[in-house]
Amino acid sequence: MMKRLLAVFAPGPDRPLLSDRAEIDRLYRRCRLSVMLSITLGYGIAYTCRLGLSVVKKPLIDGGIYTADELGIIGSAIFYAYAFGKCVNGFLADHANIRYFWPTGVLLSALINIAMGSSTVLWLSVALWALNGWFQGFGAPAGVVAMTQWFSNRERGRIYGIWSTAHSIGEGLTFVGLAGLVTYFGWRGGFIGPGVICVAVAIVLYITMRDRPQTLGLPSVADWKNDHGVSTAAAGAKSTWQLQLSVLKLPAIWVLSLACATMTMTRYGLNSWGMLYLQETKGYSDLQAGGLLALNPLAGLLGCVAYGFVSDKFFQARRPPVNLICGILEIGSLAVIFTARNPLLLTAAFVGYGLSINGLITSLGGLFAVDIAPKKAAGAVMGVVGIFAYVGAAIQERVSGYLIHHGTTIVGGVRHYDFTNAILFWVGSSVVSLILATSLWRARPTD
């Protein structure tokens, strides 16, 4: 079965090396721009097919279609499937032609979203949302593999930081664009709208993505940039599969994976339940709550880029010092978000949270792991970290749904929510993540 999957997405053969340096430089510049725009903007738009459920929870509850507990079950399904899908697909991506591999995932995810717009049966929604998670798991490994194929070691932090803005783009489009669709077209629009758009995105990605440089007659990016890491020779003596397995022997990867998992619990706690929290505790409308939550990804655009730049330029590509700064800012921002009612304070807190959590996503979600692991196993290490991260997100979704459901009372026909226990769970997760990440203070890049 694995061989068949690899055959479907097999990379193209190497072409004879071009001899014209000017032509090599021209092709590299053009293809790198195309790849960077594809993995950043394309992933950002495709991300909307993952977050539709976050926007439609209130209309689904108010319409009597699902309870908060049932929505927790549906929401956890995508994270469990995404966790294992990202892991398996991460190992596959190291062997695949990314130009075929990733658009396929986007297309199938889009079709599933369109189907979700017609489902009001719990078991069917759980099954569809789980499948969506699996195919969404094509994206991150494909993006990281494309980066390692087209960008060199010394560019990694800055390029990864730019690519990480895709999460912010996707979240911003979700909380503003989908909130508008739901307001005017009902909850079904929150699924069908992004599904239709992402069918077109999949077609565009097939046109704009590129296979490895060698398939165009180009030298490897390490040769082109004269940027060979200290472990390049040793890594070259091992097969891709051996390098992938070596990732599992690195203790720092396991600690980093746990730090990422607990960080993701907080991240998706806010993403998945933030709309409902603001609507019920602050009295905000769909568009008001969506607008406030959109400050997170807007600030995150700067947070992602700044993280890569600051850690590369001021800390010599060391990530732990910047992780500590971001972790403290994140916890402080959460304290304000869950206690303040003043709109200006809430706005400032969401900006601070957006800067810090997206910096941590950049690092704990992949950059730090790619630093530590062999470059030829970039997809595999993303898969290992990803399975921890999104099992954590799935546990969060189930626990949060349970805590919110059992904190809900109905008085005089009016539903009242108590988010206290859920908030303690989200903030506590961030504290644990900060402790784990700081324990890797001495970790250094290996190539």
pLDDT digits (tens, 9 = 90+) for 209-218: 988 898 888 8
CATH for 24-438, options being 3.40.640.10, 1.10.150.20, 1.20.1250.20, 1.10.150.120: 1.20.1250.20
Residue 59 clears pLDDT 80, i.e. is over it = yes
Indicate the pLDDT class of residue 374, thresholds 50, 70 and 90. Answer: low
Q: Which pLDDT score is estimated for 238?
A: 63
DSSP character string of 186-253: -TTHHHHHHHHHHHHHHHHHHHH----GGGGTPPPHHHHHT---TTHHHHHTS-HHHHHHHGGG-HHH
Q: Where are the domains of the chain?
A: 24-438
**DSSP 8-state symbol, 41:** I
The number of CA neighbours under 13 Å toward the Cβ of 108 is: 18
Q: Of the spans 81-90, 337-346, 371-380, which averages the highest pLDDT? A: 337-346
Q: Are 197 and 41 in contact (CB under 8 A)?
A: no
* pTM of the model as a whole: 0.71
Q: Which pLDDT score is estimated for 233?
A: 46
Closest Cα partner for 74 from 420, 389, 394?
A: 394
Poorest-pLDDT segment among 13-27, 226-240, 353-367? 226-240
Which tokens is 394 given?
A: 């799935």
Q: Which pLDDT score is estimated for 232?
A: 46
Helix (H) or strand (E) holding 119: none
Higher per-residue pLDDT: 312 or 149: 149
pLDDT digits (tens, 9 = 90+) for 351-367: 999 999 988 988 887 77
Closest Cα partner for 275 from 114, 47, 71?
A: 71
Closest Cα partner for 441 from 332, 319, 325?
A: 319
Separation between Cα atoms, residue 253 and residue 386, nearest integer Å: 11
